[in-house]
Each structure stands twice: as C-alpha cells, then as structure tokens.
C-alpha cells in the first residue's frame, strides 16, 4: 500500500511517499510494516500528479505480481509425507547444458535402431545417473535411493532397470562421445590447437580380478594401492573441455595407451594435424615415432636423470648460453638437436626437434625441502631400524652376500644400513631443472612453456572425477558396467567443464557448483504452492587485492553467504532471476522451463 508520512524538514512539513506492506515477524507477534520502495518528498516534485501516478502504478503492479498466497498447513501433518518432502530443483541448470548437448536424442535414436522394448527408459536413467553423479555422487544403488528427490524429474524405474541399462550404455559409448564432440563444436567450438593427453587409474575394493578378460587388473596404482585397477586415457582440448576417454585393463603401461587412443580419436572425429601435449610418462621413442609418422606433433616433458637424460647433462651444467630474467629466479636454454627415429617401414632416419632446458628458483627450493625431509626419514629409519618388516614380494625374498669372483656365499657377515648422502648430493644438482622436447621447430621458449603449461587442466579434470564425482572406488564389476560407469563420469565432467568455461574468469570449482545447485531445494505444499528453501549456509570470507593486483580471500568473515553468492553467479550465467520464497507451482514451473544456456 501507499504510505504518506509527514516529516518536519528544515522548518517545514513535507510528505514522504513510499510503498509498504504488512507482515508478522513471528507467529503471534504484532504486525509490522516493511518498506518496498521509497519515492521521496511529494513537495519536491515538479509534477506532483505525475509523481503520484507513478507511485500508484508501482503499487498496483507490485500487488498484482505478489498476490498473497493462502498456505494451508494442518497441525496434524506428519514428517514423512509427500507434502513435507524436500526436492532439488538446482539440477535444472545442469539439465540445461545436458539438453544443449542433445544427449536424449542420441540415446532415443539408439533405442529405435536397436528396437529396444524394455519397460523403462534408458535415456531417463542415463540423465538421472549423470546429474546425480554431480549432485549426489555415490554407488548406483545409493543413487537410486535418492531418485525421488529431484523436482519434476521422471524417475519411474527400478534398481534392476538401472543395472540392465548399463549394458546399453556400454554399447553406445563411442557413438555418444562422437556425438558430444560434434555438439561441442557446433555450440561452443573446439580449440584443438593442442590436444592434451594423460592417463590415470581407478581402484576397486576387491582382492582379485575375475578371470583373464576382466578389465580390473593388478597394476601400478597412481594412489599406491594394491587393489585391482582400470586405466583411463583422457584427451582434452585447449579450452579445458574433454574430447574423449578410453578404458584399458589396469596392467596396461601408460605409454602403451597413447597410440591406440590417438588413432581412434583422429579417425572417429575426422581431426587434422594434432600437437599432443603430455608428461614424461608418455614420452617413449615408439610414441614419438608414431606421432611424427602420422604427420602430427608433440610437446613432451623429458627426464634429466638416468640414461635418457644423460645426453643433456653437458648443456645443462654448462653455465654459458643461459638466458635469465632480471631477478635471476628463472633461466632457460633453447636449442635444436638431431635424434634417431624410425619411419613407417621401421627404417632408421635422423630427425630434428627442439629442446628447452629451464630452471626455476621456486621449484629448486621445493625440491630441496622435499629431499631434506626424505633424508630425515632415512636417518630415523637407520637409527631405529624402522621399516625392517618385509612386506609384499619382499616377504618371500632373501639376500645373500657372495664373492663376485668365486660366487661363494659369504658367512658371518652383517648388512649395514646407512643414509646415502652421495645420491642426495647428485640429486641436488638437478634441483629446479626441467626439460621439454617438441617437434615444433617454430616454437619459441614462451610458446613451448605455454603449451606444456596447459596440461594442469587435464590433471585437474582427473581430480574432479576422483574427488568431486566420486568415480572411485568403482562398485560395478562387469566390463560393460565398468565402461558405462566411466561414460557417465565422462559426461558429468563435460557438463561441469562447460559451465566453468561459460563462466570465464568467474568460474567456480566443481565442488562449489555442486554445492550451490545441491542447496537449491523446495517443497510442494497443499494448494499448489512451492516453498523455496534458503540457498545458503556457508559464511563467505572477505576478499582483498594483494600486491600483484589479484583478488584473494582473507581469514576474516564477511556479512555475505558464499553459497548464495555462488548460486547468484550461476543464475546470472543462465540468465535467470528467481528468489521468491513462495510461488505458485505454475509460475515456478515456467521459471524452470526457461532455464537455458546460450
């Protein structure tokens, strides 16, 4: 309503005009008024009639848009009832990206071409599992227990239906990845100036694999576990968006995954020349030959210790030829070298590549600190005879001390343990030094560092899959189900990465995106009234600019809520603005329907 307050101001009485509404701050409390909008003093207006007409128009519009809702709440209502059930609607933002990629159409096309006659919908199940993987990552069984917690989502399927559908997901694994690549190219654009590739593995909480054909094999675990594992190779573009993934048995060497994966990607996606960026685990002569013979390029890191790195020691420790920055905290040396490779027919040929050697003081300091910590542990081990209990293969091995010339087993000897300070001194020589090799002879130092520097995004993607998407431990056991599980994780990762890419510099972490959207919940009350819960619950920290001009968080609390701020950023990205506590269901449904991503 319109309120006119008489205010004494500078010796005269003026009329302050505002629009207010009444409310009760608590049950049984006396009514109060809150100001909706203040318009100013009536006497200060050039045209008081036009001014009041504007006020009346605002008041009428506000009343029309904010019709009082009649909420029925029986005092005998029980906790465990449909009316009191809290449901998530934040998934609708993820679903908008899912729709952009037209995943439903591909799965339904698969159903039609394979004459699917099941009583459940694989497309509904796949979408549910992908979105649940982001908001409530868990086993398939645990996820299905939450299937009624999504507002308006069709989930009329059973747990056995979910397991049956995994077989179908594995069938269109490759086809879906190709489809996603085309949709990304059409809607966002692929930047394949560099193709980043890396390999990781995921463990299963089992003791032994089930037979020779099982993907789950004992192998070198990235997490130093002894459980059976499977390996995943992941290609990513320069925008940080996943391109494709491939699954290998857990005992497959990292270096052996690149060639088949790269061949499949190029053939399946019709890609031109690629420059593959990878770390030293993929750097083998066979991989380099395969890349060059295929007309592609590479940017690989190179070890400096051991036999492979010995050829660079002369230039590494030669003090001449280095280019240093002003502060002396960074220096590099760039040169060409000839190396021996093999052509497609296996014949040897001499090729040329560029080598970048560089040193960083920050990395040198870190390497020194790590080595000093290891030396302390080694000293404690020697003094206390710690770690003397043999484990694993050492349990069934034994040591004999023999004479090299005669082969005679020497008796009455004692094995002395000591700290290898000589090795530590040799390792210290390499502190802060790194090496990158590339086939791209036109690259300068900056471009080589820039290309290799983008590899952190694929490592971050693996962390997102393992931590935020809870991709491991894996609870399914059939090979088809394992492939389906990682396909679901791959699509979930792509959705998150697209949102982050769209947010640009304001990109939130995967954890914060999931937290904000997971907090967007509501209840459907009697009479078709939607009650929206507060999207918040985490106090934000104050932010300041540091000496470099970067905005960083402090340890001081702010008066804002971090989840609420994150949710606002997401709403802004999707072009929505809906913050009412209560809404009629048809109005709320219209809001959800209009959530789209450009």
Can you tell me whether residue 544 is helix, strand or coil? strand
Check: CB of residue 416 under 8 Å from CB of residue 383. no
Query: pTM score, two decimals?
Result: 0.83
The sign of the dihedral angle between the CA atoms of 574, 580, 582, 585 is: negative
**What gap in Å lies between CA 339 and CA 308, rounded to an integer?**
12
Q: Which helix (H) or strand (E) holds 377?
A: helix 361-384
Whether residue 582 is contained in a domain is answered as yes
pLDDT classification of 396: cutoffs 50, 70, 90? low
β-strand partners of 225: none
Phi/psi for 227 (5° steps) reads: -75, 155
Whether residue 587 is contained in a domain is answered as yes
Whether residue 230 is contained in a domain is answered as no
**What secondary structure letter does DSSP report for 158?**
-
**What secondary structure letter does DSSP report for 346?**
S
Whether residue 10 is contained in a domain is answered as yes
Check: CB of residue 7 under 8 Å from CB of residue 13. yes
Give CA 92 to chain center in angstroms.
19
Looking up tokens 């629009």, which residue turns up? 19
pLDDT classification of 381: cutoffs 50, 70, 90? confident
* Res 389: pLDDT: 56
Whether residue 180 is contained in a domain is answered as no
Domain-ending residue, one of 65, 87, 115: 65
**What gap in Å lies between CA 431 and CA 411, rounded to an integer?**
42
pLDDT digits (tens, 9 = 90+) for 192-225: 888 999 999 999 999 998 888 999 999 999 888 9
Residue scoring higher pLDDT (244 or 68): 244
Check: CB of residue 279 under 8 Å from CB of residue 261. no
Whether residue 576 is contained in a domain is answered as yes
Range of the domain at 517: 508-593
pLDDT digits (tens, 9 = 90+) for 328-345: 999 999 999 999 999 999
pLDDT digits (tens, 9 = 90+) for 17-35: 999 888 666 556 788 887 8
pLDDT digits (tens, 9 = 90+) for 68-121: 666 666 666 777 777 778 999 999 999 999 999 999 999 999 999 999 988 899
Domain-ending residue, one of 65, 80, 99: 65
Distances (CA, A) of 115 to 112, 353, 441: 5, 53, 53
Whether residue 544 is contained in a domain is answered as yes
Task: Say yes or no to pLDDT of 393 above 80.
Answer: no
* Res 93: pLDDT: 97
**What gap in Å lies between CA 560 and CA 452, rounded to an integer?**
39
What's the total number of domains in the chain? 2
Domain-ending residue, one of 65, 89, 115: 65
Give CA 95 to chain center in angstroms.
17
Whether residue 348 is contained in a domain is answered as no
Assigned token pair, 208: 């032994």
């Amino acid at each position: 309503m319109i309120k006119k307050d008489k205010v004494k101001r500078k010796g005269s009485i003026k009329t302050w005009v505002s629009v207010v509404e009444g409310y009760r701050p608590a049950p049984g409390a006396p009514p109060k008024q809150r100001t909706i909008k203040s318009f100013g003093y009536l006497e200060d207006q050039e045209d008081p009639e036009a001014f009041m007409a504007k006020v009346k128009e605002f008041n009428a519009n506000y009343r029309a848009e904010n019709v009082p809702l009649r909420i029925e709440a029986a005092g005998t209502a029980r906790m465990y009832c449909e009316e009191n059930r809290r449901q998530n609607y934040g998934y609708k933002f993820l679903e908008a990206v899912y729709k952009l990629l037209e995943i439903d159409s591909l799965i339904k096309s698969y159903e039609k071409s394979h004459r699917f006659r099941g009583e459940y919908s694989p497309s509904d199940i796949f979408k549910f599992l992908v979105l649940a993987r982001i908001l409530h990552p868990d086993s398939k069984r645990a996820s299905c227990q939450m299937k009624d917690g999504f507002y308006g989502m069709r989930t009329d399927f059973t747990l056995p239906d979910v397991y049956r559908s995994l077989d179908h997901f594995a069938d269109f694994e490759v086809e879906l990845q190709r489809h996603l690549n085309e949709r990304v190219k059409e809607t966002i654009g692929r930047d394949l100036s560099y193709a980043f590739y890396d390999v990781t593995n995921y463990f299963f909480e089992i003791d032994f694999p089930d037979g020779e054909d099982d993907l789950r094999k004992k192998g070198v675990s990235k997490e130093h576990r002894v459980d059976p594992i499977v390996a995943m190779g992941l290609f990513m573009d320069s925008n940080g968006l996943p391109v494709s993934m491939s699954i290998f048995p857990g005992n497959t060497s990292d270096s052996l995954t690149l060639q088949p994966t790269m061949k499949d990607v190029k053939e399946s996606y019709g890609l031109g020349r690629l420059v593959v960026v990878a770390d030293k685990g993929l750097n083998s002569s066979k991989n380099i030959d395969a890349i060059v013979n295929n007309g592609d390029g590479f940017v690989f890191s190179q070890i400096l210790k051991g036999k492979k790195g010995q050829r660079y020691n002369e230039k590494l420790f030669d003090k001449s030829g280095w280019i240093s920055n002003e502060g002396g905290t960074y220096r590099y040396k760039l040169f060409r070298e000839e190396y021996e490779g093999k052509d497609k027919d296996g014949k040897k040929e001499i090729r040329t590549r560029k080598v970048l050697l560089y040193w960083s003081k920050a990395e040198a300091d870190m390497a020194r600190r790590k080595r000093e910590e290891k030396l302390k542990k080694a000293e404690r081990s020697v003094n206390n005879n710690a770690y003397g209990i043999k484990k694993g293969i050492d349990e069934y091995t034994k040591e004999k001390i023999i004479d090299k010339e005669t082969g005679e087993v020497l008796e009455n000897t004692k094995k002395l343990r000591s700290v290898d300070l000589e090795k530590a001194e040799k390792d210290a020589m390499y502190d802060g030094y790194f090496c990158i090799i590339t086939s791209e002879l036109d690259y300068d130092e900056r471009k080589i560092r820039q290309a290799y520097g983008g590899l952190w995004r694929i490592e971050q993607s693996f962390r997102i899959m393992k931590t935020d998407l809870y991709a491991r431990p894996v609870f399914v056991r059939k090979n088809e189900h394992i492939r389906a599980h990682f396909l679901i994780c791959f699509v979930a990762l792509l959705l998150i990465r697209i949102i982050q890419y769209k947010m640009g510099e304001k990109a939130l972490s995967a954890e914060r995106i999931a937290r904000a959207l997971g907090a967007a919940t509501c209840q459907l009350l009697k009479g078709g009234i939607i009650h929206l819960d507060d999207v918040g619950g985490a106090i934000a920290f104050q932010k300041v600019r540091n000496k470099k001009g970067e905005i960083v968080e402090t340890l001081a609390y702010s008066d804002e809520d971090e989840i609420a701020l994150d949710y606002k950023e997401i709403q802004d990205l999707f072009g929505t603005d809906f913050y009412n506590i209560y809404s009629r269901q048809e109005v709320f449904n219209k809001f959800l329907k209009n959530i789209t991503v450009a």
